Every structure is written in structure tokens, then in C-alpha cells.
Amino acid sequence: MARYFGTNGARGTIEEFPPSIAKKLARGTAKYLGGGKILVARDGRLTGALYHEAITSGLLEEGCHVIDLGQVTSPTAEFMIKKIKANGLIIITASHNPPEYNGMKVVDRDGIAISKERAEKIEELAEKITEPKKRGTMEKYENASEDHISEIMKNVDVEKIRRRKPKLVLDCGNGMASLITPQLFKRMGCEVVPINSHVDGNFPGRPSEPIEANVQDMLKLVREIKADAGIAWDGDADRVAFANERGEYVIGDKVFALSVLLKLKAENKKAKVVTTVATSLAIEDIAKKYGAEVVYTKIGAPYLCEEMIKGGTIGGEEVGGVIWPEISLAKEGIYTAAKIVEALCEKPLSQWIAELPDYKNIKEKIVADEKKKTEIVEKMREYAKKNNLDYIDKDGIRINYKDGWVIVRASGTENYVRIFAEAKTAERAKQLINEHRKIIGE
């Protein structure tokens, strides 16, 4: 069997990743998770019903007890694992990808997303399936969003929000956030103005990824109606982006940095921040201020989860996915939004953001085949070693300097080597990129 699982589960168009393969992989997953109670959730994609049918059949053929959560956000589904004490979860979603994509993400009983490496075992087991001899059972559970809302409200200072009554533009992007966020923020006492807030797998309102270019309507509306903030989610609502009260876009790494600041401020024991090797130095600066340790992982949510379970206080990545262990080990776009709304009841979002350490990031890519990818990364490693530099080699090579860092990393799915640099000024970041392009011969 070809490999289907990547960093974020198995994903593709219906030709690249047909439901028949999803069914086989569901059977492999059932064996891998040890059967029993398995949750299934899906997003609102047009092919969702097809994959749902295939995946539940696969699980039933392995004798599982399938608990169907229906259409819910990924963070809702992942929160339910602990709540229902399930042996695992399959989410049918392609996150922020275009409408023609779909996929499956597997999460184990501890709430840890299955990495590409662990999924090899699932693919191996799927290879060996024979004619089914078992027949599982199935039930529907329709209260997941409600359970999730209650849990979030337990962990947020709702009274503080009710007193301030912030006005929020919620851009659900026609994704799963539509089913939970207008309700949640209304119930917490906010004045809510939702847009793109009906589920539609064609994503008619905007492309699903909440990058600045895609959320212009939200930014404009925040200015027009003088809202306190705008919030935009990706298709499955694990990622979140903001607009401040001036309608200015707040990028993902600022969302993560602010989340870390809020969490560490409220924490009174020794804290550990878990993040990937591509994350801003702002995180180091905030951690230092609160005496917390920073642990770096490879890039990808499963690696963050694997580290978080060893006692992480908060985790996240630079594109705006934040893990709060009080809720689950999932990237939690909804709870992140609630915590930031709680904070902006104290002072405007622009002020919170202005107080964060500020760094400039430059991201470039170099076209390279497999052989060249290895060569480039090795050149970077040799350089770091030879010059006795401080470097991290968990995923590519990141060299840390006093005033910034550079990372060279081979893409797992495309023919690129990515080179990122960060420093206090864009000029210095660009200089770091240019110097290291010379070192690796590019």
C-alpha cells in the first residue's frame, strides 16, 4: 500500500485518497487502537458523507462500537475522547484545504494525534485485512458541541466577559465553527455579529485558511461596526486568527505568543512551553520572563501532543494552533478565542499585541529534489558543527544566534527546502537568509 498518512493524517482529493482506501485504513486503525469504543466525527465537506460511510463500515467490520458525533469541530471531537473514555477517534476533515479535498485524522485514547511514523503501523495492519467476520455496533451522540461549550465556560471568567459585553465579528468561514462559536460567545454575554456562519462545503464566503488575504470582509466589518475584535477560524476550527479593534489582522504567531503570555501569567508552578523549531523567539522571551522552560519539537501537531503529554503547560505552533491541556491535547481554536476574548475585556487587543516581544520573520523556499534536500541540510549541519554554533537538529537544522535564528528544513511533501529566519528587524532577518543561502550553496 502506498503511504497515505502525512504530518496531518491522510489527505487528498477523491482520486488521490478514495473512500475505499479510507475504509481499509479505518480497519487498520481499529486494529491499531485495539477496537472497542471509537469516536467518529466529520466536518461539512461535500464528500463527508461518503468517507463517513466508508470509515464507519470499516470500524464496524472490525467489531468496534462506533460513537458517531456527527458534524462537529475538530477540537470538539478531540475533547470528547476523554469525556466518553473512548479508545480513539477518527475525524473526517481536510482542515483548511480547498473544497475538493478530504481526509482522515486519527487520535489515540490519550488524545495524541497519530504521527506519520506511528501511522506506518496502521498502514501495515490495513494491508493485512481479510474478509470481515465481526459486526460492530453504532450509536449517535448529539451533545458533543454542548458538552464542549460547558467545558470552555468552566475554564473562562464568564462574569468578566458579561460585565464588559465585547462586540465581536465571528467569521466562521462556512466551516465547523458555524455550529458552535456564535452560540458560545452569545452565551458568554458577547454581542455577536457572525459572517459566513452556515456550513457549506463549497466555502462560498472565503477560502478556508484564515490568512490575512482571505479574511478581508471580517477586517472591514470590524472597522465599520467598531467591534472590539474579529475572529476567524479554518474549516475544522483548530486554527484561529484575529482582527484587533482597529480591524488590523493579528498573525498566528502573535495569537500563540499572547496565549502563552496569558497562560503563564495565570500559572503559579514551574511551567513548560512546548513549541516547534519554527516558532518565534517571542515565546523564549515570554517564557524567560515567567521562569518557564521552552521545549522544541519537530513541526507538526502530533509531535507537539507527544511532548505535551509529558507535562506541558501550553503548546502551539506559529500558524496559530494552540494546545491548552486543561481542555485536551488538540489544537484548540475555540478555547483560544475564548481566552483571548476574556483578556480583551481588560484592555484592547491592539494593546496586548503591542506589549508582546516583536520579531520579524522571513520565509523563503529553495527548489530541491530528495538528493539535494539532504545535501542542503547536511551542509547546514556541518557549518554549525565546524563553527561550534548553538543549533537544534530536531527537524532540519536551526542555528540560533544572539539576535535571531535561521532554519533550513526539507519539506516532507513537496520538492522544496524551506529557509526561515527571524530577527528584531526585517533587514537582519534577510541578511541571515542571504548569508546562509551562501553557506548551503544556494
Q: Is 245 in the site for Mg ion (CB under 5 A)?
A: no
Identify which of residues 11 and 272 has a Cβ nearer to Mg ion in the complex.
11
Burial of 377-416, coded b for 16+ CB within 10 Å and e otherwise, reads bebbbebbeeeeeebeeebbbbbbeeebbbbbbbeeeeee
Q: Helix, strand or coil for residue 323?
A: strand
> How are strands ordered across the β-sheet holding 321-323?
293-297, 272-276, 314-317, 321-323
Query: Which residue stretch of 7-15, 23-31, 230-238, 403-411 sits at the interface with Mg ion (rule: CB under 5 A)?
Result: 230-238
Contact pick of 234, 318, 342, 395 for Mg ion (by CB under 5 A): 234
Answer for which of 236, 317, 342, 422 binds Mg ion (CB under 5 A) is: 236
Minimum distance from residue 208 beta carbon to Mg ion (Å): 8
Q: What is the DSSP string of 255-297?
A: HHHHHHHHHHHH--S--EEEEETT--HHHHHHHHHTT-EEEEE
Residue number, 56 or 97, with CB nearest to Mg ion = 97
Supply the minimum distance, in Å, between the C-beta of residue 358 and Mg ion.
27
Number of residues that bind Mg ion (CB under 5 A): 5
Measured from each CB, the residue nearest to Mg ion is 95
Task: Give, as ranges, the residues between 268 and 327 that touch Mg ion (CB under 5 A).
Answer: none
Q: Which of 6, 126, 133 is nearest to 55 (CA)?
A: 126
Q: Which is nearer to Mg ion, 114 or 345 (CB)?
A: 114
**Stretch near Mg ion under the rule CB under 5 A, chosen from 116-124, 236-244, 288-296, 407-415:** 236-244
3-state helix, strand, coil in the chain (%, to 5): 40, 25, 35
Name the residue with cell 456564535.
182
| Window of 233-241, 278-286, 367-375, 415-423 that interacts with Mg ion by CB under 5 A | 233-241
Cβ proximity of 172 and 241 under 8 Å: no
- Rounded to a whole number of angstroms, the minimum distance from the CB of residue 113 to Mg ion is 11
Least distance in angstroms from the C-beta of 254 to Mg ion? 18
User: In angstroms, what is the minimal distance from the CB of 227 to Mg ion?
Assistant: 24
* CA dihedral (408, 116, 91, 186) positive or negative: negative
86-102: b (≥16 Cβ within 10 Å) or e: bbbbbbbbbbbbebebb
Q: How far is the CB of 217 from Mg ion (least distance, A)?
A: 20
The minimum distance between CB 238 and Mg ion, in angstroms, equals 4
DSSP readout, 42-108? Answer: E-S-TTHHHHHHHHHHHHHHTT-EEEEEEE--HHHHHHHHHHHT-SEEEEE--TTS-TTEEEEEEEE
Residue 93 or 313: the one with the smaller Cβ distance to Mg ion is: 93
Q: Which stretch binds Mg ion (CB under 5 A): 165-173, 238-246, 257-265, 421-429?
A: 238-246
Taking the C-alpha atoms of residue 322 and residue 308, their distance in angstroms, rounded to an integer, is 11
Of 48-56, 226-234, 259-267, 414-422: span binding Mg ion (CB under 5 A): 226-234
- Parallel, antiparallel, or unpaired: how do β-strands 416-423 and 360-367 relate? antiparallel
Nearer residue to Mg ion within complex by CB, 27 or 239: 239
Positions marked active-site: 95
Closest distance of CB 371 from Mg ion, Å: 32
Q: Which is nearer to Mg ion, 74 or 280 (CB)?
A: 74
Enumerate residues 72-111 that contact Mg ion by CB under 5 A: 95
When the beta carbons of 251 and 261 are compared against Mg ion, the nearer one is 251
Which of these ranges, 31-39, 170-178, 234-242, 252-260, lies near Mg ion under the rule CB under 5 A? 234-242
Cβ proximity to Mg ion: between 228 and 236 the closer is 236
Find the binder of Mg ion among 238, 306, 395, 422 (CB under 5 A). 238
Indicate the SS3 state at residue 392: strand
Positive or negative, the CA dihedral 26, 89, 236, 312 is negative
Residue type, 3: R
Give residues in contact with Mg ion (CB under 5 A): 95, 234, 236, 238-239
